[in-house]
């Protein structure tokens, strides 16, 4: 069943077209990587799916709740709250601004903390966390909403090895649970190993398919806007 259906999406910001005529669909249980250089429109596309940026043209249809994991620097880590309360903020849309959290909300938070191995740190102030622990909090915050579609923006950047392994295992588990997952990443080898599909984006979709079908170096060079890059091709294990 389709969890995300994007058709003809075009987004203009400050008079500039940053996403152009994008078609993209994601079904439950699919794990897709959104790949492209800085400025390619990846984060803009995610924010448009979340309803934070209006589309200039096209449509976005989402079947179910969306969970979102932003880049770590976008969260206010100096805010004086505990890990547990930070994760609870992920359920604001479900609770409502004028209501107190109930048993369902507390259970969802406890479950999310358990999934990212942060139960023992539930009462720790978020300002005392390491980088890897902060990423786990952001993931738990998104999972607390029990989403059908999970969006992650550069989730592996700067992570310690244990957190990388935990996040990889978690994403695979979510796939087994029929959650649709879309993540942006600059870690190309990891994306090729983990994802069912890779969508190469540079303002528009250059190519979209399983990693083994995207072996043409020209597709990657076009997506990254370069004419030659041996390092890029080598990192993907592609031979000319």
Residue 240 has pLDDT above 60, yes or no: no
Q: Does 128 map to a domain? A: no
Strand locations in the chain, DSSP E?
2-13, 16-27, 31-35, 57-62, 66-69, 149-153, 180-184, 197-202, 204-209
Q: Does 123 map to a domain? A: no
Q: How many domains does the chain divide into?
A: 1
Q: Does 30 map to a domain? A: yes
Average pLDDT, integer, range 121-134: 95
Residue 10: the pLDDT is 97
pLDDT in tens, 80-126: 999 999 999 998 877 776 778 889 999 999 999 999 999 999 999 99
Residue 218: the pLDDT is 87
Task: Using DSSP, state whether 119 is helix, strand or coil.
Answer: helix
Q: Does 144 map to a domain? A: no
pLDDT in tens, 180-222: 999 999 888 889 889 999 999 999 999 999 999 998 888 988 8
Average pLDDT, integer, range 128-152: 96
Residue 33: pLDDT band (50, 70, 90) is very high
Structural domain boundaries enclosing 220: 1-50+180-240
Q: Does 233 map to a domain? A: yes
Q: Does 215 map to a domain? A: yes
Residue 170 has pLDDT above 90, yes or no: yes
Of the candidates 4, 191, 153, which has an alpha carbon nearest to the alpha carbon of residue 73? Answer: 153
| Cα–Cα distance list, 180 to 106, 144, 156 (Å) | 24, 15, 18
Q: What is the pTM of this model?
A: 0.91
Q: Does 102 map to a domain? A: no
CATH code: domain of residue 2 = 3.40.50.300
User: Which percentage of the chain shows pLDDT scores above 90?
Assistant: 75
Residue 217: the pLDDT is 85
Rg (CA), the chain: 18
Mean pLDDT for all residues in the chain: 91
Residue 100: the pLDDT is 83
State the DSSP H helix or E strand holding residue 43, giving kind and residue range, or none if neither: helix 42-49
Q: Does 38 map to a domain? A: yes
């Amino acid at each position: 069943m389709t969890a995300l259906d994007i058709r003809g999406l075009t987004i203009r910001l400050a008079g500039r077209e940053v996403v152009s005529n994008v078609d993209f669909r994601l079904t439950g249980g699919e794990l897709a990587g959104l790949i492209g250089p800085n400025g390619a429109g990846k984060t803009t596309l995610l924010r448009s799916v979340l309803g934070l940026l209006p589309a200039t043209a096209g449509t976005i249809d989402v079947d179910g709740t969306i969970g979102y994991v932003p880049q770590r620097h976008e969260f206010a880590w100096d805010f004086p709250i505990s890990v547990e309360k930070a994760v609870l903020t992920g359920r604001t849309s479900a609770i409502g601004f004028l209501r107190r959290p109930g048993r369902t909300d507390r259970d969802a938070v406890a479950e999310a903390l358990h999934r990212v191995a942060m139960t023992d740190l539930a009462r720790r102030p978020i300002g005392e966390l390491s980088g890897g622990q902060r990423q786990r909090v952001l993931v738990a915050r998104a999972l607390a909403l029990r989403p059908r579609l999970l969006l992650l923006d550069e989730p592996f950047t700067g992570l310690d090895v244990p957190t990388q392994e935990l996040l990889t295992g978690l994403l695979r588990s979510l796939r087994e649970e029929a959650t649709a997952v879309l993540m942006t990443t600059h870690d190309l080898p990891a994306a090729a190993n983990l994802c069912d599909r890779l969508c190469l984006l540079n303002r528009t979709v250059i190519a979209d398919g399983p990693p083994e079908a995207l072996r043409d170096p020209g597709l990657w060079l076009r997506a990254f806007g370069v004419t030659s890059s041996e390092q890029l091709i080598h990192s993907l294990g592609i031979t000319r």
